[in-house]
Amino acid sequence: MQLTGIITAMVTPFDDNQKIDVPATKALVNQLIRSHVNGLFILGTNGEFHVMARDEKIQFAKIVIEETNKRVPVCVGVGGNSTREVVELSKAMTAIGADVLSVITPFFISLTEEELYHHYAVIAASVSLPIVLYNMPKNTGINISTDLVKRMAKIPNIIGIKDSSGDIANIKSYIEATKKEDFVVLSGSDSLILKALDEGAAGAIAATSNILTNINVSIYQHWLKKEKNKAEEAQQSLEELRGILKLASIPAVLKKAMAIAGTPVGPARYPVLPPSEAAIQEIEAAVKAYQKKHAALAN
């Protein structure tokens, strides 16, 4: 399966009791698909996978997969520190109908290249589903080397990588190293969507598309039509939102912005607290500014 275009790094809606909000999840899935995203990426960083129990992950994935009903691919995060646990979760997600699995590198400890290769090779051998590697060195402490990506791209069901390094040179090196393979590189940095496309990336897994869906989609659509100026305008328009995302821990600002914009998805899960009152004022101002010019930017 080829993953292309704008794939939303979907948040996980929680209710006020910190439990999965089923109606809000279904509503968000349908809203994103109506806005023409090319796929859904769940249980990633903005999906708060790291604070969810195994059974919750399966429950949430099942809701999303059933509601999506094959309208777009659903890529499910199954990463963790233990190879055995990742294999077990991968099998469970396969059984409930996931289209693609995403596996972030282990974290907390440093691994050798051979250990990392073995981790991914064992996981890939355990399932038939396509697998997307997930590189996020700032959070995990591990950067998947270009040589290792090139080697893993030869494993038949490892079909791509989401790169959230924030380094366009890193994305470019992955593209160059795998150009002879059936392998896609996807930007995990929303600020680099257009640059990554220009370098040969297949698309982006974008968290800002939870709220600025039309703008994100328009970057890709304008790029396809070779409308460079319009694509650049849409890309630049993401910066105001990206600028406020650092006002609180991930994904508290994004979730608050979505609520202000009319898409309630509840709070982030503890230990992440809601944004401060001062931060909320900045978030409200940014959302209102987007709402004024949103239609023009999305067309």
Residues at the binding site are 205
Q: Please indicate whether residue 138 is annotated as part of the active site.
A: no
The residue annotated as part of the active site, out of 70, 117, 120, 134, is 134
Q: Please give the Cα distance from 23 to 19 (Å, whole number).
A: 12
Task: Tell me the binding residues for pyruvate.
Answer: 205
- DSSP per-residue letters across 188-205: --GGGHHHHHHHT--EEE
* Residues belonging to the active site: 134, 162
